[in-house]
Structure 1
Amino acid sequence: MTQEPIFEESSGNVFADLGLSNADELLTRGKIGLQVLRVLKQRNLKQREISELLGIPQPEVSHLMKGEFQRFSEGKLLIFLKRLDTEITLHLRPHHTLNQSAETVILL
């Protein structure tokens, strides 16, 4: 008799699904880091050029290009986007409240 596979619906945050305590932070870093990678890949730069552009040592570029975003803070990843001439807009709203319409937008 074959056992049916068990599936569990995702929460939308794989890090939370894995039970990690800093899941929101890891998801945020992942989203920002992926955007940094997209821009870098579009520019087709060598690691030495990326190092100079972002102001980080070449070994750190290697970690970034491998998707090791946990090595960088959200702030550092946002700085990378700014150095890549990317406009950043933050949408701030209350977390889990009845009045979800209150929102602040910040353009960096």
Structure 2
Amino acid sequence: MMSEDMTPIEFTPSSGNVFADMGLEDAEELLTRAKLGVTVRRILESRNLKQQEIAKLLDIKQPEVSNLMKGKYHLFSEARLFGFLNKLEKKVTIQISTHYAGEALIEVAEIG
């Protein structure tokens, strides 16, 4: 039971893609970059590397390392993020399958 001074909270359910919920045109691409970027960042964090070590490992400049570690994945192309994963000795597998209504057009799944 609600007291008189409590106003019900209104909310809109998420579509599963925050970028689409924000109305951005390139929402699927941004979500893919975010998922790839998070995967790269998690791997780097698990290795406890300093930013200089990351820069050398990924062959990028320190400001780019900073952007990557701060989650600014929109600054990196999907191909570049794939390249980072390869430099981290991760295999990237692309699978093409039927798309069903209501599901994302692009999925990123981290295995092992």
TM-score, normalized by the shorter chain, greater than 0.5: yes
What is the rounded CA distance, in whole Å, between the counterparts of 2:12 and 2:87 in structure 1?
40
Whether 2:28 is the aligned partner of 1:24: answer yes
Whether 2:78 is the aligned partner of 1:78: answer no
Counterpart of 2:61 (choices 57, 61, 84) is 57
What is the alpha-carbon root mean square deviation over aligned residues?
1.3
Question: Residue type of the partner of 1:19?
Answer: G
Q: Following TM superposition, by how much is the alpha carbon of 1:96 offset from its aligned partner in structure 2, in angstroms?
A: 4.6
Instruction: With a CA cutoff of 8 Å and minimum separation of 6, indicate the structure with the bigger relative contact order.
Output: 2
Aligned twin of 2:109: none
What is the rounded CA distance, in whole Å, between the counterparts of 2:76 and 2:25 in structure 1?
18
| TM-score of the aligned structures, taking structure 1 as reference length | 0.84
Name whichever of 66-75 and 2-11 sits farther off.
2-11
What is the rounded CA distance, in whole Å, between the counterparts of 1:87 and 1:43 in structure 2?
18
Q: Following TM superposition, by how much is the alpha carbon of 1:7 offset from its aligned partner in structure 2, in angstroms?
A: 1.6
Q: Calculate percent identity across the aligned residue pairs.
A: 52
Per the alignment, in what secondary structure is the counterpart of residue 89 of structure 1? coil
Gaps of 5+ in 2: 102-112
Whether 2:40 is the aligned partner of 1:36: answer yes
What is the rounded CA distance, in whole Å, between the counterparts of 1:41 and 1:55 in structure 2?
17
| TM-score of the aligned structures, taking structure 2 as reference length | 0.81
Q: Following TM superposition, by how much is the alpha carbon of 1:10 offset from its aligned partner in structure 2, in angstroms?
A: 0.9
What is the rounded CA distance, in whole Å, between the counterparts of 2:29 and 2:39 in structure 1?
16
